[in-house]
Amino acid sequence: MSRRAIDWQSSVGDANDMLVRREFTDITCGVSWIAGIKATHHCPNGYVMSERLIHCHNVGKKYCRSLAKGLWYGLCDIADEFLLRKAQHPMEPALRNDEFWANSHITFEVRRGECLGLIGRNGAGKTTLLKMINGLIKPDTGEIQLRGTIGALIALGAGFNPILTARENIYVNAAVLGLSARQIAASFDEIVDFSGLREFLDMPLQSFSSGMKVRLGFAIASTIRPDVLIIDEVLAVGDADFRIKSGKRITELLCSGCAVILVSHDLSQIANLSTQTVWLDGGQVKRLGKASEVIHEYLAGPSVERHATIWCSDETMNDASDVRITRIAVAPSGGLKVATISSGFSVQVAFDCRRGRLLLDFTLEVITADGVVVFHSGDVIREPNGSRIGEYQLEIAIPGYFLNSGEYLLSVIIGDSQSTILARIEQAVQFRIHHEPAGNNFSQLPGITAPRFDWNYSVVEPSAMKPKPQ
């Protein structure tokens, strides 16, 4: 987790800006950094919400698959830079042997109060892009311009000393970020309370779990109120309560004028928080636009890894089992077999019954990808003369807009009248729900369920007040 103070050069010289600055221009990659005091504008909250904080233009980064060649290429590039033999703004240098583009032709901007969501499959170049924005690595092409203070949560536990205690890490980390001793003392209780780790403050950080480290890092980064906050999937390590808590904090930061770049594979989180979304594919911008539109196109694209919406048993029934589940399938209403469901769906369960029984007790369990149980639904099949031996199929209809957007796992349990489990398949099927916005600003809020009810309104009593004369 890191934070740096920089200022975007296009605002230098603004009559409303009071700026003390130093300018550094990197002639090899065309990145211009301006460090100084953030600008102050004459507006009620102290900021102009349309102020541009991040601007990436034609940014590219290449790597080498061979370590030995990569080291040699690095030495050559350093020599070229030192001897000023490299062009000041190369558009796209030729790839050498075993080199490839991790990012290329990346262009976007983020303004104050906006949240940019980054989506894409693993290896699409999301983390590389964030490292370039944060100044950890240099781009090979293009230009990155930033303004203000930056807080970044890119690598889990980055910036922490595992030997020091949590209390010591708070002071050391905050000091590295540029806070004075008085500022750290004033913010200490807020950091600790938000992290929920007060009873563990004097434990060494090496004994912390991944989730505890994320809590502490996010608490520090968000409490210092940076102008730009970068988050790379680290919140996925936290539990459900912390995700809700961190989502509220991100919303507060956006309302206060912070710009946020959020990388997540949780598309519902991207849809809820992002004002615009970038879909990276193969290191390039595949789509840039409104979150709901980009997510819809991303889910329909061939690059999305399809979930197993059908589970089939590859085992034969053993002598001890009376019932064996052979197939579980999730299908949207209409029968189309797709991984993403935007309406109602049905669950189909096929099973073999080897021995006749008077009663079979069925239970369907649905949980979120975080392990939170959404619901259980059960039914009992009674046969007066006992069920016949053979194959059976059940179908359970789930109404549309019952589940909120997100990823879910499904389990099936079959028992008998004595509550003995005859067959059980845990988390057999994974499926994704995605709803289009309902036309209001609150249609994609967090939650497990998102039912759409019928709303009726009427005028109870017309106003007796006459309109004021013009």
Mean local confidence (pLDDT), 250-272: 85
Is 157 within 8 Å of 220 (Cβ atoms)?
no
Which residue in this structure is represented by tokens 């989730």? 211
Q: What is the pLDDT of residue 277?
A: 93
Assess contact for 103 and 60: CB atoms under 8 A.
yes
Angle at alpha carbon of residue 453, lines to 452 and 456, rounded to 5°: 135
Residue 260's CB is within 10 A of a number of other CB atoms, namely: 24
Q: Among residues 127, 125, 133, which one has the least CA distance to residue 104?
A: 125
Amino acid identity of residue 338, one-letter, is V
Domains identified in the chain and CATH numbers: 2-300 (3.40.50.300), 310-433 (2.70.50.60)
316 confidence band (pLDDT: 50, 70, 90): very low
Tens digits of residue pLDDT in 203-225: 998 888 877 888 888 888 888 88
3 state DSSP class of 378: strand
pTM of the model: 0.61
Q: What is the pLDDT of residues 26-62, one digit of tens each?
A: 323 433 333 332 333 334 345 556 788 999 999 999 9
The helix-helix angle for 210-223 and 240-255 (nearest 10°) equals: 10
Residues in Cβ contact with 403 at an 8 Å cutoff, skipping those fewer than 6 apart: 366, 374, 433, 448, 449, 450
Residue 109 has pLDDT above 90, yes or no: yes
Tokens at 72, concatenated:
């040699």
Query: Tell me, what DSSP letter sits at residue 239?
Result: -
DSSP reduced 3-state for 177: coil
What is the percent of the chain with per-residue pLDDT over 70, rounded to a whole number? 71
Mean pLDDT of the chain: 75
HSE-up (13 A, CA, CB side) for residue 399: 7
Spatial distance between the Cα atoms of 33 and 31, rounded to a whole number of angstroms: 7
Cα–Cα distance for residue pair 393/385, rounded to 1 Å: 19
Q: Is the pLDDT of residue 68 over 70?
A: yes
With b for 16 or more beta-carbon neighbours within 10 A and e for fewer, the 377-409 pattern comes to eeeeeeeeeebeeeeeebeeebebbbbbbbbbb
pLDDT at residue 43, rounded to an integer: 40
372-400 mean pLDDT: 76
Q: Report the range out of 134-148, 172-186, 448-462 with the highest average pLDDT.
A: 134-148
pLDDT of residue 10: 34
User: Per-residue pLDDT tens for 394-428?
Assistant: 888 888 778 888 888 888 888 877 667 788 887 77
Does pLDDT of 305 surpass 50? no
Window from 153-157, 187-191, 243-247 with minimum mean pLDDT: 153-157
Q: What is the pLDDT of residue 264?
A: 84
